[in-house]
Amino acid sequence: MLGKPVADEMAASLAASAERLAASGVSPRLAVVRVGDRPDDVAYEDSIARRAKSVGVELKRTVLGPDADTSLLREAVRSLASDENVHGILVFRPLPQSVGGDAALADIPLGKDVDGVTAAQMAALYTLKKGTAHPDVFFPCTAEAVMRVLDHYGISAVGKHAVVIGRSSVIGKPVAHLLLARGATVTICHSETTSLVEQTRGADILVCAAGLAAKNRALRLGAEYFSPGQTVVDVAINADDEGLYGDADTDAAQGVAANITPVPGGLGAVTAFVLMEHVIRATEAAMETERNR
């Protein structure tokens, strides 16, 4: 299951939407806030910049030094929050331990929280029932990208057993709740789960979102973790001297499972365009609010 067809389809639609907004005199603008120069953050920022430009979304970058404290980060976020020309704010995580990330994220206005990190957006996700959410709700982009890929390839979650490896508030928990809202029975596995192989083999849909192989590609899930007919969505992005890789051994999984997203080539571009879609939706909502004043 390649991400490119999904991303290409989204990009065409988003470019048309951004063009209509521009014709109305408003350019969708995303502000990204980065603390320090972590290579993965820099690479992600550059990737976002390319995708944003390709669909007509402007990018505003704010880079703080690695020694930035909570007050400096909050000042940057508040400045962007009050800027009427900024329609979405994305703070790169994880943040250094010296920075109180929760306080800074709380300063992002609801309408500009395009990655679903504020308490109000998370509450909307965790109380989501079967059906669709309100159009002003933005779910975490990577979790939503998982659902977009499943939808594109016609893989229904209704009545399926979904296993999510990872319990973070960024990916693991959000994607588990989205699957639950789609009618799946969901099991969340984590570092204290026993008999992981038994859990994963029993899944109809398996989502790898824990960075299990972050330190060594030899730790990737091998053939014994998969079963025939499965759909495997690998969200993890790890890197070594040989390049990028996920948490699942793609070659091993392809010999057993029915479908798998590769790394690279899977969720990355889709996640970026989900983010762009959220920015465009936030821009449209801001314009509607302005018209109704």
pLDDT digits (tens, 9 = 90+) for 76-94: 999 999 999 999 999 998 8
- What pLDDT is recorded for position 111? 93
Whole-number pLDDT of residue 94? 81
> What is the C-alpha separation between 237 and 243, in angstroms, rounded?
10
For domain 124-131+138-268, the CATH architecture is 3-Layer(aba) Sandwich (3.40)
Angle made by CA atoms 30, 31, 35, in degrees to the nearest 5:
145
Q: What is the pLDDT of residue 134?
A: 62
Identify the CA nearest to 230 among candidates 255, 206, 208, 266.
Answer: 206
Domains 25-109 and 124-131+138-268 agree in fold: yes
- According to DSSP, the residues that pair with 227 across neighbouring strands are none
Residue 188, pLDDT score: 97
pLDDT in tens, 166-216: 999 889 999 999 999 999 999 999 989 999 999 999 999 999 999 899 889
Q: What is the pLDDT of residues 61-76, one digit of tens each?
A: 999 998 899 999 999 9
**Residues 224, 217: Cα–Cα separation, whole Å:** 16
- Predicted local distance difference test score (pLDDT) of residue 131: 58
> 131 and 100 in contact (C-beta within 8 Å)?
no
CA–CA distance, 32 with 28 (Å, rounded to integer): 13
Which strand (E) or helix (H) includes residue 291?
helix 267-291
The residue extents of the domains of the chain are 25-109, 124-131+138-268
User: Looking at residues 229-239, what average pLDDT do you find?
Assistant: 93
CATH of domain 25-109: 3.40.50.10860
Q: Which residues contact 13 (CB under 8 A, 6 or more apart)?
A: none
In which band, very low, low, confident or very high, does the pLDDT at 95 lie, cut at 50, 70 and 90?
confident
Give me the helices (H) in 133-256, please. 141-152, 172-181, 196-201, 250-254
Any residues with CB less than 8 A from the CB of 48 and at least 6 apart, and which?
Answer: 30, 32, 59, 90, 272, 275
The predicted structure's pLDDT at residue 189? 97
* Res. 40: pLDDT tops 90: no
The per-residue pLDDT for 175 is 96
Average pLDDT over residues 143-157: 97
Phi and psi, residue 189, nearest 5°: -105, 155
Average pLDDT of span 20-47:
91
Average pLDDT score, the chain = 92
pLDDT at 17 over 70: yes
pLDDT of residue 170: 86
What percent of the chain is predicted at pLDDT more than 90? Answer: 75
Q: pTM of the predicted model, to two decimals?
A: 0.93
User: DSSP assignment of 45-102, as one string?
Assistant: HHHHHHHHHHHT-EEEEEEE-TT--HHHHHHHHHHHHT-TT--EEEE-SSPPTTS-HH
